């Protein structure tokens, strides 16, 4: 049976790959991006256009999309900046927490009636940084630790309503964010030693397809031989 699934950050990278995969198998995809133009070429039935850096705009965007029943919400969008606690700017702290935490909580809140109607599934794309904070990733890691807290609280609160909640912790997969992170660390990068977006999208799809009598609460994954993040020699 086909599902209605909202994917945030669907304009590129993993979000785009996931939207393509879900659409190809017959699911109805609601694709989120900051602009309509960002969704050019992305298969989708509806668009949710909103800037997650401005969580206050989400209520109008959700109302405009007219989502009454939602089988799954995949929180994929996120931002990252590499900087020490000493040097990280207030602007980046505010942007990171707005996009990675506040917007996620607000979008989930707004879509809860539609998710409850379908006894749906909320998937949070977390990170290894959501479990262990590395040097120069304080703002990003803090946001991902907060994301874990949102997922854990939501799971406990919504069990009685039939909602399933999953946190995924994929590490080292080939995206613009991973490349940008390596650039900011001045570190080598080898996509052959990273997971592909297709592999991570397949993992998400498998989690969404779990039998109705089970849920995957937390799942970690990484490539067999990831390239460490270290300065170029």
Going from the N-terminus, what domains does the chain have, and what CATH number goes with each?
Answer: 4-221 (3.40.50.720)
From 140, 169, 185, 189, the catalytic residue: 140
pLDDT at 180 over 80: no
Over residues 79-121, the pLDDT tens digits come to: 999 999 999 999 999 999 999 999 999 999 999 999 999 999 9
Q: Compute CA distances 56 → 102, 110, 142, whole Å.
A: 10, 11, 21
* pTM recorded for the entire structure: 0.95
Over residues 136-147, the pLDDT tens digits come to: 999 999 999 999
Say how far apart CA 165 and CA 113 lie, in whole Å.
15
Q: Is 169 a catalytic residue?
A: no
pLDDT at 192: 84
Instruction: Tell me the mean pLDDT in the region 26-51.
Output: 97
> Which residue from 88, 7, 2 is spatially nearest to 46, judged by alpha carbons?
7
């Amino acid at each position: 049976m086909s599902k209605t699934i909202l994917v945030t950050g669907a304009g590129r990278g993993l979000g785009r790959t996931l939207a393509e995969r879900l659409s190809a198998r017959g699911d109805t995809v609601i694709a989120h991006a900051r602009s309509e133009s960002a969704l050019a070429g992305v298969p989708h039935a509806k668009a949710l256009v909103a800037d997650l850096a401005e969580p206050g705009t989400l209520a109008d965007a959700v109302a405009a999309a007219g989502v009454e029943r939602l089988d799954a919400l995949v929180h994929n969008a996120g931002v990252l900046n590499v900087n020490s606690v000493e040097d990280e700017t207030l602007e980046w702290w505010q942007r990171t927490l707005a996009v990675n935490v506040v917007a996620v909580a607000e979008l989930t809140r707004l879509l809860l009636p539609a998710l409850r109607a379908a006894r749906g599934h909320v998937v949070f794309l977390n990170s290894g940084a959501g479990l262990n904070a590395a040097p120069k990733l304080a703002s990003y890691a803090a946001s991902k630790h907060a994301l874990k807290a949102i997922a854990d609280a939501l799971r406990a609160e919504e069990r009685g309503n039939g909602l399933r909640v999953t946190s995924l912790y994929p590490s080292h997969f080939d995206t613009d964010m991973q490349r940008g992170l390596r650039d900011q660390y001045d570190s080598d990068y080898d996509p052959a030693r990273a997971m592909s977006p297709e592999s991570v999208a397949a993992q998400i799809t498998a989690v969404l397809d779990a039998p109705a009598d089970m849920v995957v609460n937390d799942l970690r994954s990484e490539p067999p031989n990831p390239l460490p993040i270290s300065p170029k020699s």
